[in-house]
Structure 1
């Protein structure tokens, strides 16, 4: 029997590529996105009835109900690709409350909304949950503070979820892409830095804007990785995708381990307990 997938952010970037691959593999896809025209295009190019298009902002009050109903109508769910999100870059101090709330509403609370709507069915099917994070879920640069924080929240919630789901057979994988050529990279919300942050945030953003095309990987490889993970009997909890992600996370872990060892003496050993 063909599997059923739910993919958020299905109209562009990695979400669109995964949707196309899942359809080519014969899956039924609940494609979720905010662009009804792009969802219609997906449905038009797929075999009749293979796509259920759901035009939805996952931060909307009705999102959980709409998604749960789509899953019920589909008769079940085998794979969730929780992909919707966006990037906001700028100095921590200079990102105002409205922008910060909007970021966390989408990248964190929206992600959780999708999970609440789908987990009952995924537990029953012993399904696969693919949580799309980022290299920035493991490390932060000058300018990525709030975006990194939103992805770190997804990472730790997903790690806890993996422990909680372990007895059910449902599996969670956190995918951590590096820099890839998608609409995400060209549609970032960037808050220009003030003079105080020009040497740090400003310098980083200037370097980023001058990266050559060769610095961005082919997003097809991320989609291929997600397809492979969804088919694994024992998938990894975390999977960095792209050499820059692997090396960046490795260096961050080395630095953290070295700092932990350097300052471990500030944490006294526990006192001996009485017999």
Structure 2
């Protein structure tokens, strides 16, 4: 039986690559993205009837209903790859309310809207939810504050969702890529720091812009990971992809555990006790 995949952000990066991989495997793909031309290219290279293209800004009013209708028309859903999002980097203080609202609208609220549209059909099929996060969903650094916050929100919502859906057979996996060669690195929005943040945010952005091409992994590895967890009987809740992601997340977790241990007596001892 042909499986049906709903993939958001299917016009570029991981989303486009996963759509191509799913189509090559014989799936029917509901491909969602803002660029009609890229969706048309995807359909042109696929077997007739295998692609349903939906030009859509998932933050738009009514987007949830559009997606729910598409799933209903397709006759069900087996895999959701909730991938759409964008990067915003700069000092926390300097990111204004409009930009902060925009990244949460796209990376968090629209992600939730897609889930609401897809979950009834996924419960019926005992399907798979693949939430695309980032190493920044587990670890922040100077300049990543708002982006990290948006991905951390997705991660914790997804963790709760996995518990809530456990009895239904629906499996949830959060994929956390490190640095990979996609259009993301060239399309992200950057707020340049004021002088006070030059030693931290400024240095990070300068160092990042000087990274050689070899610092960015082969994006096919992320596609391999996404397609693998989408069909595993017992997939992981979280999957870091890339040596840099594994290393950074491990370092962050060790640091947090060390800090927890160091201050445990302060938290659990008598009031006023010092370490």
Bucket of the pairwise TM-score, normalised by the shorter protein: over 0.9
Q: Deviations over 1:107-126 (max 9, x none)?
A: 00010000000001101110
Give distance in 2, aligned partners of 1:185 and 1:250.
Answer: 23
- The Cα of 1:268 is off from its aligned counterpart by 2.0
Q: Deviations over 1:9-31 (max 9, x none)?
A: 00110001100000000000000
Q: For structure 1, which runs of at least 5 residues remain unmatched after alignment?
A: 271-275
2:65 equivalent in structure 1: 65
1:35 aligns with 2:17: no
1:109 equivalent in structure 2: 109
After superposition, where does 1:243-262 map in structure 2 within 5 Å?
A: 243-262=243-262
> Secondary structure at the residue paired with 1:231?
coil
Q: Deviations over 1:41-85 (max 9, x none)?
A: 111110001000000001001100000000000000000000000
Give distance in 2, aligned partners of 1:248 and 1:269.
Answer: 32
- The Cα of 1:269 is off from its aligned counterpart by 5.8
After superposition, where does 1:1-275 map in structure 2 within 5 Å?
A: 1-268=1-268
Q: Deviations over 1:199-220 (max 9, x none)?
A: 0000000000000000000101
2:273 equivalent in structure 1: none
- The Cα of 1:231 is off from its aligned counterpart by 1.0
TM-score by length of structure 2 reads: 0.97
Give distance in 1, aligned partners of 2:110 and 2:241.
Answer: 23
The 3 A distance-change label for structure 1 pair 167 and 269 is: farther
- The Cα of 1:188 is off from its aligned counterpart by 1.0
TM-score by length of structure 1 reads: 0.97
Give distance in 1, aligned partners of 2:241 and 2:196.
Answer: 34
Give distance in 2, aligned partners of 1:132 and 1:114.
Answer: 13
Give distance in 2, aligned partners of 1:75 and 1:160.
Answer: 27
> Secondary structure at the residue paired with 2:141?
coil
Give distance in 1, aligned partners of 2:268 and 2:246.
Answer: 34
Runs of 4+ in structure 1 off by over 3 angstroms are none
1:273 equivalent in structure 2: none
